Amino acid sequence: MADFLQILITAIAVGSLYALIALGYTMVYGILKFINFAHSDIFVLGAWTSLTASVCVITWLKLDTQQPPLWLAPVVLLCAMVVCGGVAFLVERLAYKPLRKSARLNVLITAIGVSLLLQNVGQLPGFTAAEKDGRSLATVPFGPSPSRMPSLLPDTSLISVPFPSGDPTIPAASVQVNLVDVFIFVSAMVLMFGLQHLVYRTKLGAAMRAVSFNTETASLMGVPVDRVMSFTFVTGAVLAAAAGFLYALKYPGLNQPAHEIWVLLGLKAFVAAVVGGIGNVRGAVLGGFLIALIEFMGMYLFSKYLDPLMGTNMGTNLRDVYVFSVLIVVLLVKPSGLLGTPVREKV
């Protein structure tokens, strides 16, 4: 029971991260109508920028490494958002905008190219940005080694409930809710409602929906289509930056930017967007939680019940299989996703 609850809590925290990334995918797909493969790399950029920025600030201002002041977190988050937004703006302007009129396939390929570019630039051995005792602590670009994100939030568990197990030989396990998990969940919720408000309650949001619905009509109605598209793209990147920042807080040991795991993480978030119904803000969040739940519960249930039966231990290895199977099932049963509206084909 304790294990189950603990995994549930983790799944919710991870689901919040998926949801944040999925929001970016869903917005870009909803309006620009292509899978932005580089989105996961913007997310990685966000995580690594947070790391580099916090190490730099801590070193330059000689702050306490173990317990840095609380104001650092928002500063670092802002920094990550600015960097990611800027890079996304450049990418959009230089690589995607010229292709707006060409085949979607071309944009997809370009996105793959941008993704490869960001990954491989990210892992180049960089220039030292912060050093201590002649030892380089942070570089720009980020280099090929993993690194540690300083803990910007106090490492405390808010709730810790001990669960005695029925079996006396097995000690009581406790279920913990950590500050960082709550922080991630709350941030994801705030950003989601903010986005919801932006899309459905503001003039800009109306313009975005108009462009998504029909680009040509929108432009005839006086909507500055190009600017709306750029704005959407940058907003998606800013959300990815926030997700990257939160990810770095939860999992401080960051893998190097070209690690395959980042692409997989991005793919799972995309799956979340598709499962929830692409182009739908609430759908992306729902999908994020759903995918995380299925991934973690799949691992837990398979390794608890099926593995002992089969004499294997592959329950946790198949985590990606659960996610992609769900995707295939959802697409076969309801191709528009759980909350999406089916698109009528026009002849």
Site residues for other proteins, 20-39, by CB under 8 A, read 29, 33-35
CB 117 to other proteins: min, Å:
4
Neighbours of 165 (CB within 10 A): 13
Region near other proteins per CB under 8 A, out of 71-79, 199-207, 228-236, 249-257: 249-257
Interface residue with other proteins, options 230, 232, 256, 280 (CB under 8 A): 256
Question: Which residue, 166 or 222, has its beta carbon nearer to other proteins?
Answer: 166
Region near other proteins per CB under 8 A, out of 56-64, 98-106, 195-203, 230-238: 98-106
Interface residue with other proteins, options 54, 250, 276, 290 (CB under 8 A): 250
Give the Cα separation of 203 and 205 in Å (integer): 5
Residue 156 in the binding site for other proteins (CB under 8 A): no
Region near other proteins per CB under 8 A, out of 71-79, 186-194, 243-251, 281-289: 243-251
Is it true that the peptide bond before 252 is cis, omega within 30 degrees of 0? no
**How many residues sit close enough to other proteins to count as binding (CB under 8 A)?**
94
- Span 295-334, contacts to other proteins by CB under 8 A: 296, 299-300, 303-304, 312-314, 316-321, 323-325, 327-328, 331-332
Residue 113 in the binding site for other proteins (CB under 8 A): yes
Among residues 88, 99, 94, the alpha carbon closest in space to that of 235 is found at 88
Nearest 5°: the CA angle 256, 259, 260 is 165
Give the Cα separation of 63 and 54 in Å (integer): 10
Going by C-beta distance under 8 Å and a sequence separation of 6 or more, which residues neighbour residue 293? 8, 11, 12, 15
User: Which segments within 166-303 are labelled E, that is strand?
Assistant: 173-178, 253-254
